[in-house]
Amino acid sequence: MKRNLFLGLLVAVQFVRMDASAAEVYPSKPVQFIIPVEAGSDGDVLARPFLHKVSDMLGKPVLVLNKPGAGSSIGYRQVHDAKPDGYTIGWGAATVATNKLQGLLPYDHSEFSILGGYATIVPVLFASTRTEKPFRNVEEVLAQARARPGTVSLGTSGVGYIWWFASRELEEATGVKFNIIPQTGGAGYTAAQVAGGHVDVGIMGLGPAKAQLESRNIAFLGVVGSRRASAPYNNIPSLKELGYSVSIESTHFVVGPDKLPKDISDKLVKTFEVAANDKEFQQFLVKLDALPTYVAPEQVVKNLNQQKVVYRDIMQKAGLLKE
């Protein structure tokens, strides 16, 4: 009797151990992915096909939740405060560093787990075709802005977003003064404002603007960088070609709560690297004029550290530095 009882207890313990072991396999349930910008923005447009690849590889759904607002701080806060178990992660960009400079968050990228970059975007200068006198090229824009400072309205994403910094760098590089009108969110809002003729020109990535570009509500004037766009827009010059030393890029990466367990972090980093290098996903990026280049976590951190110095200077000149 005692022997049977002992054997029964031993079997029960083995089953408990097996159950515990099975429960430890990550992921065992859907993963929530927070995107702190609105649907239709650069961050949203590029993240979704990437996450489809990630979901297939993890074997569990990756559920997208858009949490825009307050310079992306709402979404970042939700990721930062989540339990570090790998079931809440999210999209990251320059704002994860600039939020602290603006006083929107008490922490920056150093208090997140940085899990690797999957796409890099170069901004484009677009003009509305619905204004009284639509601009046909970059030189026309700069000529009016130089002759009549502040009369050319330039729509961009919210203060502290990467394209807002691009607009400030464009002013400094060209020596002109725009009427910069930040939108309440990301590039999706900017695309709508330019397409509706509410602003003369706008700076954003190609993704959110593509539908309006194909509908001819906006015109592609130039790349705010050192290289031309991919075909069929490779006939449009870059600002660098026109003699203006301005180049800014936005790398999109994945963030998680600080102190993710190493086994979970390692699995996610490897998964993101493979998904970012997927040929189909890279072809999608090229169509939206994004650079299909995987960026390792340590390089993302290094880039953010360097960029934060530049962003701090720009925000200080604008009287917005609060760190």
List, for residues 217-257, the tens digit of each pLDDT value.
Answer: 999 999 987 788 877 888 899 998 999 988 788 899 999 99
Question: Residue 12: is its pLDDT beyond 70?
Answer: no
Q: What per-residue confidence (pLDDT) applies to 137? A: 95
> What's residue 76's pLDDT?
98
| Residue type present at position 183 | Q
Least confident piece of the model among 20-24, 64-68, 202-206:
20-24
Structural domains in the chain, CATH included, are 23-120+251-317 (3.40.190.150), 124-223 (3.40.190.10)
Tell me: the pLDDT tens digits for 136-160? 999 999 999 999 999 999 999 888 8
CA separation, residue 221 to residues 25, 130, 226, 274 (Å): 51, 15, 14, 35
User: What are the counts of helices (DSSP H) followed by strands (DSSP E) for the chain?
Assistant: 11, 11
Q: What residue has token string 């003064």?
A: 177
CA angle 120, 122, 126 (to 5 degrees): 145
pLDDT at 185 over 80: no
Helix axes 297-317, 162-174, angle to 10 degrees: 60
Peptide bond between residue 36 and the one before it cis (omega within 30 degrees of 0):
no
